[in-house]
């Protein structure tokens, strides 16, 4: 079995990347990496499904034990990717999705040179603000912080291989499926197949 892809999906808060990821993982080909965070659970979020919710000291223990592949501080909270499930997932042929912010994505780039980097952007900042306010999960203060951070993150778009302008969900999903399809045709993934062709 061929290894799955490691797919990093970033995008400002309110870009709709969470909805995209939720839709993608309905397909069993994909596996979502579940992050650890020190932020408080939002209503409806479950331990081990959306995040592993940790205290700051528990999170710092994970850092010390080198249990995290990468971690970053985002708007005052820690977020990090547990190492073990990623390697296991790709080995089992799953395309593993890491939904992480830009600093973490930079760290992943140093670790995996074959990961695929996708940046999801909103059609406009006005739309982004509308989505953040509309979902009603954050206080005004947090929303303001996230919009400020969104502007900084948008400036980093060139660090990514692909950009998805998230206007309609169906188009975004379609575009990501196309990216995944094409990435799997890379020559670097064909060593074994070529040998088989040569020896038959
Ligand atoms: P939220 O609080 O909205 O769930 O997430 C805030 C930001 O943290 C989002 O951009 C999300 O992609 C990012 N994030 C979630 N998990 C991780 C992680 O494991 N590592 C990093 N670096 N960022 C993460």
Name all contacts of 34-37 with Cβ < 8 Å and 24+ positions apart. Answer: 34/82, 34/85, 35/79, 35/80, 35/81, 35/82, 35/99, 35/100, 36/62, 36/68, 36/71, 36/78, 36/79, 36/80, 36/81, 36/82, 37/77, 37/78, 37/79, 37/80
**Gap from CA of 117 to ligand 1 centroid (Å):** 15
Q: Parse the chain into domains and list their residue ranges.
A: 6-185
Residue from 41, 101, 138 whose mutation best tests the ligand 1 pocket (most atoms within 8 A of CB): 101
**Gap from CA of 98 to ligand 1 centroid (Å):** 9
Query: Tens of pLDDT along 113-154?
Result: 999 999 999 999 999 999 999 988 889 999 999 999 999 999
Helices (H) and strands (E) in the chain, counts: 8, 9
Backbone angles phi, psi at 173, to 5 degrees: -65, -45
d(Cα 154, Cα 11) in Å, to the nearest integer?
8
Range 166-183 average pLDDT: 97
**Gap from CA of 185 to ligand 1 centroid (Å):** 29
Q: Considering only CA atoms, which residue is closest to atom 3 of ligand 1?
A: 13
Ligand 1: residues with CB < 6 A are 13, 35, 39, 70-72, 74, 79-81, 99-101, 103-104
Q: Three-state SS for 68?
A: strand
The fourth-level CATH superfamily of domain 6-185 is: P-loop containing nucleotide triphosphate hydrolases (3.40.50.300)
pLDDT tier at 192, thresholds 50, 70, 90: confident
């Amino acid at each position: 079995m061929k290894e799955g892809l490691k797919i990093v999906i970033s995008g400002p808060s309110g870009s709709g990347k969470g909805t995209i990821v939720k839709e993608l993982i309905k397909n069993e080909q994909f596996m979502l990496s579940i992050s650890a965070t020190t932020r408080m659970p939002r209503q409806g979020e479950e331990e081990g499904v959306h995040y592993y919710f940790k205290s700051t000291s528990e999170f710092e223990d994970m850092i010390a034990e080198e249990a995290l592949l990468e971690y970053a501080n985002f708007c005052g909270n820690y977020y990090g990717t547990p190492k073990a499930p990623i390697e296991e997932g790709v080995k089992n042929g799953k395309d593993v999705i890491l939904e992480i912010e830009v600093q973490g994505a930079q760290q992943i780039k140093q670790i995996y040179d074959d990961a695929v980097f996708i940046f999801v952007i909103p059609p406009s900042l006005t739309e982004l603000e509308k989505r953040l306010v509309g979902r009603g999960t954050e206080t005004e203060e947090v929303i303001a912080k996230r919009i400020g951070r969104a502007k900084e993150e948008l400036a980093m778009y060139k660090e990514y291989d692909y950009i998805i302008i998230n206007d309609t969900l169906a188009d975004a999903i379609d575009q990501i499926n196309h990216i995944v399809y094409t990435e799997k045709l890379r020559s670097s993934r064909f060593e074994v197949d070529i040998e088989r062709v040569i020896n038959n």
